[in-house]
Amino acid sequence: MDIKSSIIERVRKQGRDILTEIEAKQVFQEAGVKTVETRLASTQKEALAMCSQIGYPVVLKIASPDITHKSDAGGVKVGLKNEAEVKQAYRDIMASVKEKYPAAKIEGVSVQNMARPGIEIIVGMYKDKQFGPVIMFGLGGIFVEVLKDVSFRLIPILPWDAVQMIKEIKGYALLNGYRGQEPADIPSLEGVLLKVSALVEKTPEIKEIDLNPVFAYKDSAVAVDARIVVEK
Query: Do 178 and 201 belong to one domain?
Result: yes
Q: Could you tell me if 59 and 42 lie in one domain? A: yes
Query: What contacts 45, CB < 8 A, 6 or more positions away?
Result: none
Instruction: Judge whether 12 lies within some domain.
Output: no
140 and 224 housed in the same domain = yes
54 within some domain: yes
Q: Span 181-192, mean pLDDT?
A: 95
Q: Answer yes or no: do 176 and 160 share one domain.
A: yes
Same domain, 148 and 208: yes
Q: Is residue 168 part of a domain?
A: yes
Domain boundary among 47, 80, 114: 114
Name residue 153's beta-bridge partners: 135
Domain end point (choices 79, 114, 149): 114
CATH number of the domain that 179 lies in?
3.30.470.20
* Residue at a domain's end among 80, 114, 148: 114
pLDDT at 178: 78
| Segment 10-68, tens digit of pLDDT | 999 999 999 999 999 999 999 999 999 999 999 999 999 999 999 999 999 999 988 98
The total of other beta-carbon atoms located within 10 Å of residue 142's CB is 9
Q: Which residue segment(s) compose the domain that 63 sits in?
A: 37-114
Q: Residue 97: what pLDDT?
A: 96
- Segment 176-203 shows an average pLDDT of 93
Q: Is the CB of residue 98 less than 8 Å from the CB of residue 127?
A: no
Query: pTM of the entire structure?
Result: 0.92
Q: 3-state SS string over the chain?
A: CCHHHHHHHHHHHCCCCECCHHHHHHHHHHCCCCECCEEEECCHHHHHHHHHHHCCCEEEEEECCCCCCCCCCCCEEEEECCHHHHHHHHHHHHHHHHHHCCCCCCCEEEEEECCCCCEEEEEEEEEECCCEEEEEEEECCHHHHHHCCEEEEECCCCHHHHHHHHHHCCCHHHHCCHHHCCCCCHHHHHHHHHHHHHHHHHCCCEEEEEEEEEEECCCCEEECCEEEEECC
Indicate if 99 and 200 belong to the same structural domain. no
- Confidence bin at 1 (pLDDT 50/70/90): confident
Report d(CA 204, CA 90) in Å as an integer.
37
Both 143 and 159 in one domain: the answer is yes
Q: Does residue 144 register a pLDDT over 90?
A: no
Q: Is the pLDDT of residue 147 over 80?
A: no
Q: Which residue has the higher pLDDT, 153 or 171?
A: 153
Count of domains in the chain? 2
Percent of the chain's residues with pLDDT above 90? 85
Q: What is the CATH number of the domain that holds 86?
A: 3.30.1490.20
Q: What is the distance between the alpha carbons of residues 65 and 126, in angstroms, rounded to a whole number?
A: 20
The rounded mean pLDDT for the chain is 94
Q: Is residue 26 part of a domain?
A: no
* Residue 18 within a domain: no
pLDDT at 177: 86
Check whether residue 87 and residue 135 sit in a common domain.
no
Same domain, 144 and 226: yes
